[in-house]
Structure formats: C-alpha cells, structure tokens
C-alpha cells in the first residue's frame, strides 16, 4: 500500500485561532477530522494545557494518527466515529462541553495519496471512495445502481458539473455492457463525453465527477449539516469552532450556520436591546479567510480553502420554565 503524506492547510492560522480558547488547564479540543493528525500535533505542541479528542471515520487514518501522536500520551485520544456524532463522543469522554472544535473538511491527504482507496483520478484504482472502508456503498455501487436522473442530481449538485445529464446518460448506457469497477474506465468515459473546449478549462475533466461521487458516497453535506450546529452547542464560554471548507456548498452551509448563531434575535427597528437578547456567539473571522499564494504554490490543495471561526461569548440559555417549574 502507498504510504500517505500530509500537509495541513493554513496550519499556523488554525492554531492561532484555537489557542485563546485552549490557554487554560483542562482545555479540550475536538478535532472532528483527525486524518493523519497534523493539526492535532501542532495544537498539542503549541498549546501545552490542551488535550485533544480526535474523531475520524477512517480506521486506517486513526491507526496512523495514534502512532504519530503517541509521544503526547494521555493528552490525545482517538475515536472511530462520524463527526456528526460529536455530542455522543464528548459525553462518552465524561465531558459536558469542550473548549474548541476543528473541522478540516473534504478528502484528506491520507485518502488521496493511497491509490487503493480510489479517491484520485490520476491512477487506475477500484472505485471505492468510502472514508470508512468498513461500511456502506462504494462509488462503483452508485454508478452501477443509480438511475440517470439520480446520477444527474449528484453530478450537478455536488460536482457543479455542466454536463451532468450527458455524463449520467453515458454511464447508464455503458454499465449495460459491463459494470463500472475501476477509475480508469470512468475517466475514459468523461474524456469522451465532455467536449474538448470544456476539457481545456477548469482543471482535469474528472475532477468534478469524482468530487460529486465522493460527497454522495460519504453523505458529506447531510453529515455536516448536523455536525456544525452540534459543534456550536458543545462549546463553553470562550470556546471556538474553526472550520476549513474546500467546496462552495460546504462553505455556504458553514456561513449560514455561523451567521444564524451570531445574529441578534430582535426586530431590526427596536430602539433598545432587551437584556438577555444579546448574541451568544460572535464571528472571529471577517468573512472567509484564504491561503496566500506562497502556501498555494507549496500545497495546491490550499487553493480552494475557506476558513471561518466563531466563539461563544455567553452561556447557553437554560430551557424556559413555566410557573409550575416544568420546562415549556
């Protein structure tokens, strides 16, 4: 098996955003996308008081990260889970809340660099693309069982592929000849179906289709839609949630959740701010931050990153109670 490499994106900036929340005894960070542990290693090195709970659905990545982080002893614990299970993971660790949560979304270096996982289109490999290789349908299953309409939706919505309908129709025709099993055959089909002028712009012609299949196989947007609000609820006062997104759909979802959490919940024309109506969270970053040209040249995967952070400034409101002392 190919040995993966790993270059965390915006590493110094991520640590700088998390550090204020982790600068006290007993501080805990949940790294929801542990991967090979690059971000976690930097946090453990730079934030001497912090412990990290690392979540990953990829058992191979967890094994490698545990080995890498072994020198930090009990300051690190790895958990096999999907990151929308963050509340359960925190509870299972005997905690009510944490001080930081980090998401580094999208496909990891671990998955891209290991040819056998089938995430990359540059080499022929089985069409797998599962982040958790122990369960669930593969990319081949999607290609071989979805209707033309379902495939069109996946390619259009998750890959923003202009030729989604054309590609879906070709897949349905070709799988009648033989089921799809490896990436080379799919790449060959994409070269045939995407017109030559379009192939000369926007990167590799397989990029959008492979991204769409990966997001469908791993149910990424639905998981993220559950995970971001759960992460926001999990942080105590002074705690921060930091998110790195690499796709416009991901970033839009994160932006919407952060904006809603930090918005004033009063009419805009109200002449005064009632006590207790202040936002309980504040945006730490102004809009989305991006990698500079130097980092992009060193690590091309940084080109599409969008970094956002939010901080809790007031405690979670307790449930409203009626005059009989029963929650409303």
Read off the pLDDT of residues 152-176 as tens digits, 9 standing for 90 and up. 999 999 999 999 999 999 999 999 9
Name which of 106, 129, 122 is nearest 301 in CA terms: 106
Residue 118: which pLDDT band, with cuts at 50, 70 and 90?
A: very low
| Domains in the chain with CATH codes | 11-110+220-312 (3.40.50.150), 133-217 (1.10.150.170)
Establish whether 104 is an annotated binding residue.
yes
Establish whether 39 is an annotated binding residue.
yes
Alpha helix segments (H runs only) across the chain: 11-22, 38-46, 59-68, 86-92, 109-113, 139-145, 148-159, 164-177, 183-193, 196-199, 207-217, 220-234, 248-261, 293-298
Residue 149 and residue 162: Cα distance in Å, rounded?
14
Taking the CA of residue 326 as centre, how many other CA atoms within 13 Å lie in the half-sphere pointing to its CB?
Answer: 1
> What's the whole-number mean pLDDT along residues 263-286?
74
Establish whether 203 is an annotated binding residue.
no
Q: What is the pLDDT of residue 317?
A: 66
Read off the pLDDT of residues 54-95 as tens digits, 9 standing for 90 and up. 999 989 889 999 999 999 999 999 999 999 999 999 999 999
Q: How far apart are the first and last CA of the chain?
A: 57
**What angle do helix axes 164-177 and 148-159 make, rounded to 10 degrees?**
140
pTM: 0.85
Establish whether 100 is an annotated binding residue.
no
Q: CA-based angle 167:173:176, to the nearest 5?
A: 140
Structure tokens at 30: 């949940």
Establish whether 239 is an annotated binding residue.
no
């Amino acid at each position: 098996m190919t040995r993966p490499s790993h270059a965390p994106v915006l590493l110094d900036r991520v640590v700088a955003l998390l550090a204020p929340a982790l600068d006290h005894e007993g501080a805990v960070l949940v790294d929801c996308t542990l991967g090979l542990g690059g971000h976690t290693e930097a946090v453990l090195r730079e934030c001497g008081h912090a412990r990290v709970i690392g979540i990953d659905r990829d058992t191979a990545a967890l094994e490698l990260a545990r080995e890498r982080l072994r020198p930090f002893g009990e300051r690190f614990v790895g958990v096999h889970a999907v990151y929308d299970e963050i509340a359960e993971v925190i509870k299972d660790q005997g905690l009510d809340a944490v001080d930081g949560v980090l998401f580094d979304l999208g496909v990891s270096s671990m998955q891209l660099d290991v040819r056998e996982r089938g995430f990359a289109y540059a080499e022929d490999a089985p069409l797998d693309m599962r982040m958790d290789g122990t369960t669930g349908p593969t990319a081949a299953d999607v290609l071989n069982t979805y209707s033309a309409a379902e495939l069109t939706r996946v390619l259009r919505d998750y890959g923003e592929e202009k030729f989604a309908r054309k590609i879906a129709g070709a897949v349905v025709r070709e799988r009648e000849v033989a089921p799809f099993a490896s990436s080379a055959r799919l790449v060959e089909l994409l070269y045939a179906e995407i017109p030559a002028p379009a192939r000369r712009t926007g990167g590799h012609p397989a990029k959008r289709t492979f991204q769409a299949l990966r997001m469908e196989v791993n149910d990424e947007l639905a998981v993220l839609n559950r995970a971001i609000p759960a992460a926001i609820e999990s942080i105590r006062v002074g705690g921060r949630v930091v998110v790195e997104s690499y796709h416009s759909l991901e970033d839009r979802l994160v932006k919407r959740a952060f904006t809603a959490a930090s918005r004033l919940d009063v009419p805009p024309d109200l002449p005064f701010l009632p006590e207790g109506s202040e936002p309980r969270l504040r945006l730490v970053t102004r809009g989305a931050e991006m990698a500079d040209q130097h980092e992009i040249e060193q690590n091309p995967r940084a080109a599409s990153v969008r970094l956002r952070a939010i901080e809790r400034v007031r405690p979670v409101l307790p449930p409203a109670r009626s005059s009989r002392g029963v929650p409303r």
